[in-house]
Chains A and B, each alone.
Chain A
Amino acid sequence: MPVRHLLGLADMPAAAINEFLENALPMKQIISRDIKKVPTLRGKTVVTLFYEPSTRTRMSFELAAKYLSADTVNVSASASSMAKGESLADTARTVAALGADLVVLRHPSAGAPHLLARMVDVPVVNAGDGMHEHPTQALLDLFTLRERRPDLEGLKLVIIGDLLHSRVARSNIWCLPRFGVDVHLVAPPTLVPAGLAALGVTVHDRPEDALPGAGAVMVLRLQRERQQEGLIPDVREYARLYALNGERMALARPDAYVMHPGPMNRGIEIAPDVADGACALITDQVTNGVAVRMAVLYLLMLGRGD
C-alpha cells in the first residue's frame, strides 16, 4: 500500500482505509491487556505538533505511540517557537533535522499538513487541520460502526451540527459513503457550507426531516463563538431546534446508535440522557481512537515494507 502520509481521506483509496482498520483490530486487543505495551516501534520517535489546544486527540496519539514503545515528543503552540514567530516551514525543517520518524500535526489552518508533508521526508499524520479534515476521527468512527454492524450497506447515518466548521463531518463525508452508508446532514442554513449536496449526501434544514429511519446519529459539538460570529442567533435557540434529545431520537430506529466526537456540550447539542443512553457509542469511540491511531503509526512507520 503506497500511502506515505495520512493527510485526509478525500483521496484515499478504500483499500487503504480497510488496511488501517484491519490493523486496528489486533491493536485493540493490545490495549485490552493488563500490560499494554509491545515493542513494535521501539527506537522510533513520534513528534506531536499541536498548534491548537487539544486534550483528547493529543492523549490518544501519545498513548498509541507509547503502547507501541515509540518515544514521543510533544510540542504545543504556547511552548513552541511558533509563539516566537517561527514559521511552520522552519519548524518542519527543525523537526526533520532532529531525526523524528513521524510527525503528527494538529493545526488551525486547513492544508497545514500538506505544507508540512512537502517540507519533510518523514510521514505526516493530520490530527485535524482547520475546517478541512480529521482523518483518524473518521477512521475510528467507521471502525466503531463496523464493530456493531460489519456490513454498513444501507445504514442511514444522520450528522447534526455545525457542518460549516466541522473537519469531522468532512472526513466522514469522504469516508462513509464509500462503505455503503447513506449520509444525511442537518444544520441551520447558516452553518451549511456551499455546494455540500454535490458531494453525494442529503442536506436537511431540520432534524425532524432527517431522523426517520436513521440507524445512527452523529452529533457535532457546537462552538459558542458561532453566536458571536452571527451564525446562530442564540445558543438556547440552537438547542431548542437542533439538540438531539429523547423526543427526536424517538424518530430514529429504536436501535439507532448515538455518536459524538467529543468533547460534548451536554444540554446544548445533546441531551444528557441520550449521551449516556444504551445506544451511545461515545466511549467506544474514544477507546477505538487509540487502536486506530496505533494502526496508523504502525503502518506509516513500519508496515509499508519499503
Chain B
Amino acid sequence: MELLIRNGTVVDPAAGRTFESDVLIKDGRVAAVEKKITARGARVLDAAGKLVTPGLIDMHVHLREPGQEHKETVASGTCAAVHGGFTAVAAMPNTDPVADRPEVIRYVLEKAREAGRARVYPVGALTVGSRGKELTEMGALREAGAAAFSDDGRPVADAHVMRRALEYARMLGVPVISHCEDLSLAAGVMHEGLVSTMLGLKGTPAAAEDVAVARDLILAEMTGGRLHVAHVSTAGAVRLIREAKARGVRVTAEATPHHFTLTDRAVAGFDTNAKVNPPLRADADVAAVREGLADGTIDVIATDHAPHAAHEKEVEFDLAPFGLVGLETAVGLVFTELVAGGVLDVVTAVAKLSINPARVLGLSRTIAPGAVADLTVIDPDAAWTVNRAELVSKSKNTPFHGFKLKGLPCATIVGGEVHLAARG
C-alpha cells in the first residue's frame, strides 16, 4: 500500500530548510521526496498549506501502566500521542512496579505493540525502586529496550549515586535524564513568590531547581556522562546550562509547553490542574525559558504528560497530585506561543519536537528516501479551542481548557500508517 502526501511544505530541520514537495511512502518507508510524484493507486493525503515534518517525539511522558491504569494506559496514552501529532513517546519509569527490571520494560513494549499506535521508548529506572540508593541493572534494562535512564518524579538525592549513574550510563552510551530538585528546599506545592504568599500556599523556591542543576552539571563535567535535564523551569537553571554548554559539558535540556506558557498566576483560584512539579514559575523564569529555547540552550520540547483522574484532582490544593496532561495541546502551544510569538522559527520549533529528542535518545528522524516513514502533518493556521471534554487521554487534567490556539496536527503517520486523519 502506498501513501502519497501531496503539495505539502516539507520541514527538514536536519538541513535547516523548508521546501514544497510531495512525499511518497511505500512499505512503511519513505520512497521518494520530489516536487511532483505520480503514483497510481496510492492513497492520497492532500497537504496543501500544511507542514510535513519528521515524526514528532515526546521524550517525557507518563503512561501510568503498569499500576495506575485508571489514569492512563499504554493504549490510551499512545492514542493521545498520535492525536497530538506524536509518532513516538519515551515513557518514564515511575510506574507501579517501577520499571527497574527488564520484565517491566518488556511489558510496556508488549503493550505498545498491542496498541499499535505511537512508538514507545521505555525509560529505565536509574536506581532500584527509584529510591536513589542502588543502581539498577542498567545493562539488562538496556538490552530489554530501555532508551535512557531516569528516576523522574523524584531526584537522585545522593550525589555519589548520581556520579556513579552518570559513569555507568556513559559506558552504555545512553543519557541520564535528571529530575533536578533539591528536596530539602522543595517543601512547597507551588512556586515560592508573591502568588504563593497571596494564596497562603507553601512555596518551592526556584533555588530548589538551581541547586540541583548546578550539582548535576558539575557531576556530568567530572564524569563525562551524558546529562539530560528534564523540565527546566527556572532562569537560574537556564543560565547554568548555558554556561555548562559553553564549557563543553555533555548536557542537553528540555522545557515543557506549560513552563514556557503559564506563570504561577495560573494557580490563582486554587486550580489543581495548574499544580505541577516543577511548579509554574514567575514571569522572569518564563522569559528565561523562552530565551533558552531561542538560543539553543534548551534543545527539546517535551510535555511531561502526567495524567491524573478527576477525583484525584478534585481535592484541596495541597492534597492534589502534581501533574497535567500535555500530549494533545503541545503542538498548538508551540505554534501559538513560540512560532507565532516570534520566539522560534518553524524549522527550529520542529527540530525541538523531532530530531533533537531523537538525537538525545539515539534515534534517527529524517524525511529522505529509505527512512522509516514516521511523519507528522501539521496545519499551522488551523485555529481551535482546547476543550477538556474532547481530549482522548483517559485523564483530562489540563489547565489550558478554553485556550484559543493556532496550529493543529492533522495527520500522524507511524511506519507509513496514518493514525490521525483529521482533528478539530
**A residues engaging B (CB < 8 A)?**
10, 87-89, 107, 109-112, 114-115, 129-133, 167, 170, 193-196, 198-199
Contacts and interface: CB of A to CB of B under 8 A. Distances in A.
A129 B200 contact: yes
Given A194-B192, A195-B193, A195-B194, A132 B314 contact: no
A110 B267 CA distance: 12
Nearest to B198: A10
Interface string B192-203: 111011111111
Contacts of A167: 200
Interface in B158-193: 192-193
Contacts of B318: 109-110, 130
Contacts of B316: 88, 107, 109, 111-112, 115
A277 B269 CA distance: 41
Contacts of B200: 110, 129-133, 167, 170
A110 B269 contact: no
A22 B200 CA distance: 29
A198 B193 CA distance: 10
B194 A198 contact: yes
Given A110-B270, A115-B270, A193-B196, A87 B201 contact: no
Nearest to A229: B187
Interface of B: 192-194, 196-203, 205, 269-270, 311, 314-319
A115 B315 contact: yes
Given A194-B192, A194-B194, A111 B315 contact: no
A194 B201 CA distance: 11
A194 B315 contact: no
Contacts of A130: 200-201, 318
A132 B194 CA distance: 13
Contact of B197 (A89, A107, A196): A196
A109 B193 contact: no
A27 to B, nearest CB: 28
Contacts of B205: 194
A249 to B, nearest CB: 29
User: Which A-B residue pairs are the 7 nearest by beta carbons?
Assistant: A132-B200, A111-B270, A195-B194, A109-B316, A131-B200, A193-B197, A110-B200
A64 to B, nearest CB: 24
B199 A111 contact: yes
B269 A195 contact: no
Contacts of A111: 199, 201, 270, 316-317
7 contacts: A89-B315, A109-B316, A110-B270, A115-B270, A194-B203, A196-B197, A199-B194
Nearest to B269: A114
A114 B199 CA distance: 11
B334 to A, nearest CB: 31
A114 B267 CA distance: 13
- Which of A130, A133, A167, A194 is the most central at the interface, judged by chain B CB atoms within 10 Å of its CB? A194
Contacts of B319: 109
Contact of A194 (B196, B270, B311): B196
A109 B197 contact: no
A109 B315 CA distance: 10
Contact of B199 (A87, A88, A110): A110
Q: Which of A88, A111, A129 has the most CB of B within 10 A?
A: A111
Given A110-B270, A167-B200, A170-B200, A88 B194 contact: no
Contacts of B193: 194-195
Nearest to B200: A132
Please indicate which of the listed interface residues B197, B311, B317, B319 has the most CB atoms of chain A within 10 Å of its own CB: B197
A110 B201 contact: yes
A194 B317 contact: no
A87 B320 CA distance: 11
* Most B C-beta atoms less than 10 A away, residue of A107, A132, A133, A167: A132
